[in-house]
Structure 1
């Protein structure tokens, strides 16, 4: 009988404990029976064949930078970690594609293709530590989504190992192709519940100019949201348009002096990579900001200075780690409802007596409100977190724009989807994972209801 790959399998309790969670809080984790640190396609195939034959759950993992508990261990599971599959297999300059293994770090790929005059746009805030496999699993976005799109917009083909160990290739290298169902994008965003991605073919773009940036300061979040609508409504699409409220500024300032004016209620940071047209784009942003009561606007004409302006935004995730505990939300709403979302978040924070620091990708309506609290406030923090998700749905949005559902938001997915959509999810899951071994209890519930406990029969 097939066994787990001996050279890649670890059962040391201390090592297992270290690999049992991602970065999400308030998500339970169990005790795994083994960790497989795959170094080859054969390791993945052998692991899944063994798990399928023995009806053992498998939890695929990458760099474990996720925020939704999707990589957390289950009791008795096998953790299948792919971070050692970290080779860039090909960069095809003529076709403008790259073929990579799932353990390649996002920033590593971006740097490698830049040396060849190419550009890989998806840039999640965790780009320096998150893997391409994890980006694919959650369909990760980032600051440049507004102009360029999310991970799925760049995935052309995948190699996937199915639950029973069979290897499947989806998609194609060509720029166009509509033969058959779009299986590639079925797996993008599936969070390891349908199969394990072992190779990714991504589209690239020609290199762009080093971006310039501008930062606008506002007394109120409402004014900043109005500026977003005004600038985008005028037909501009900056490379990034980022938002930070006063609580976020306070959190980041504990790590680094940003030099922002005291009493700032909100900040917008716009970035343009339009080359010679960048000054024109940023001038238009300044016009919109001042029209919407910006107290000050700083426009950079130096790429190095622009990097410093964006650095404050990139420090947000790290700054939240300075607090005893945090719950990072990920709601996305239509841009017209952005002000209502931010106002509602402020109300939720006040009513629950917790601090919520809100930042995010204002240009596409994707906010990351983070409930920052100490452990005595755990119940109030969870209530506030749930109320933010409820508000996002009421405003016509979604419970997750890029972090994924995982375990943290699984029960909320049933509220976002209608009955037919939820049924379809379960039918797809059953077809590709009939024994329910692939990351069970994540995204959708194994019972078929979308709520409640995981069906223990899957274990």
Structure 2
């Protein structure tokens, strides 16, 4: 009996007949790639469209029995090649495990399966006056399991935290098919090692997340006040963002667009859209947006507006919800504006917030050195920058990887990190040891072997 026959038997005739197991060429091809544009070599063995924990356990046991890769996958919105189906692998899709099992308003938590989409979870929580804070740009299609696997962040994490702060407990299927429950329903809990935190951000290399108990926060009350400012250059905008942080102001959203980004957005939306709010856009102009929510938002926004004006910005402060959305729409147009001009490699580095002006300056120098323009947007509230490389053709050009190499090393030199929220996956694993050092790297490889002694769980991801 070969691996595919074993898998069919393990899943059962009813599951196979209902489409849980797929070997269709379209499904296998789609499982090879993600939103980064990187495609794995070869051809996966099969796709298991799991709808129950038993399906996940069957896939894990088959992978262990035949020593073949098992690649967990959510919505396929990853940006680091972390969930791409490799040659001969069983791709384990968790998108069909999409039930919200419980909402407890009293305890401010929800119990969900990994395939629940962020936006759907928040629609379900809203009648209870609650919400799930992680807010990746792909929140309309990204899944909670994917958020947890990569410790996703997004626009709101400077104030409300990244995914790790929102996870109370996990149910995980290990490589040999055992079901492990970890964590607590309580706010506090320090019994034993914190395995829950260890699994957040583990990218499917330690086990497969099949359930999560997540913290739900009260919806903010009061008025949301939006502050937008146009600056003559990105360094003054980054300095202004750092000044807001230094003043102990905490916007829910603070986003920074550099000159190349704003130029492309103006072409995409129409320059008049931005000029109506701030006047003419000069060459190299940069845009800083901040939104304050909750009680006192108006006072904080006015204080932020003063700081932005002192830093040289043309400032607009608004309590009008529609105008606030128009100002935010400029930021949200970043990705479609770039996608309209070519293929896009979206990168992800973080530096201490006070070093953002230096990092933006370094990105400009790197772009000039390699003859490329690198439009960059930053979650300025937490120092997370997304330099984007726009190119044409089927593969990422070599000079782009050379520029990215220098950019990653610069972020580390500034006290930062290779990735703030996308994860390591395949695309960043070559730089991992440079950041964490050889001793930590060795310990992490050994730690993986404790959970995955046969090396079948998402092999080649994070560690080369």
TM-score norm. by structure 1 comes to 0.94
**3-state SS of the aligned residue for 1:319?**
helix
What is the deviation of 1:165?
A: 0.4
Q: 1:111 aligns with which of 92, 102, 123?
A: 123
* 1:288-318 Cα distance to aligned partner (Å, 9 max, x none): 1011111x11111112321222122123223
Q: CA deviation at 1:68?
A: 0.3
Q: Tell me which of 360, 373, 384 is aligned to 1:355.
A: 373
Question: How far did 1:26 drift?
Answer: 4.5
Counterpart Cα distance in 2 of 1:383 and 1:327 = 13
1:215 aligned partner: 228
Give yes or no for the alignment of 1:434 onto 2:453. yes
Report what 1:3 is aligned to: 7
The answer as to whether partners of 1:162 and 1:432 remain within 8 angstroms in 2 is yes
Q: Which residue of 2 aligns with 1:303?
A: 321
- Aligned partner of 2:239 in structure 1 is 226
- Say which SS state the counterpart of residue 165 (structure 1) adopts: coil
Q: Distance in 2 between matches of 1:205 and 1:297?
A: 31
Among 155, 165, 170, which residue is 2:177 paired with? 165
Q: Secondary structure at the match of 2:120?
A: helix
Distance 1:371 1:20 in 2: 22
Which residue of structure 2 lines up, in the alignment, with residue 268 of structure 1? Answer: 288
Partner of 1:332: 350
2:420 paired residue number = 401
Map of 2:135 onto structure 1: 123
Aligned residue for 1:356, secondary structure, equals coil
| Cα distance change of structure 1 residues 207 and 336 upon mapping to structure 2, 3 Å threshold | same
Residue 449 of structure 1 aligns with which residue? Answer: none
SS at 1:115 equivalent: helix
Q: 1:175-190 residue pairs with structure 2 within 5 A?
A: 175-190=187-202
Inter-partner Cα distance in structure 2 for 1:367 and 1:305: 26
Answer yes or no: is 1:236 the counterpart of 2:255: no
2:428 is aligned with 1:417:
no
SS of the aligned residue for 1:123 comes to coil
1:450 alignment partner in structure 2: none
Contact kept, 8 Å, 1:48 with 1:165, in 2: the verdict is yes
1:251 corresponds to: 264
| 1:354/1:373 contact within 8 Å kept | no
Question: How far off is 1:326 after superposition?
Answer: 1.9
Other-structure match for 2:59: 47
Kept in 1: contact 2:40–2:87 (CA 8 A): no
* TM-score (ref. length: structure 2): 0.93
Distance in 2 (CA, whole Å) between partners of 1:361 and 1:429 is 31
Q: May I ask how many residue pairs the two structures share in their alignment?
A: 443
Gaps of 5+ in 2: none
Aligned counterpart in structure 1 of residue 76 of structure 2, from 58, 64, 82: 64
Whether the 8 Å contact between 1:327 and 1:385 is mirrored in structure 2 is no
Bigger drift between 23-32 and 242-251 goes to: 23-32
Among 62, 69, 79, the residue aligned to 2:91: 79
Corresponding residue of 2:411:
392
Q: 3-state DSSP class of the match of 2:230?
A: strand
Higher mean displacement: 318-327 or 226-235:
318-327
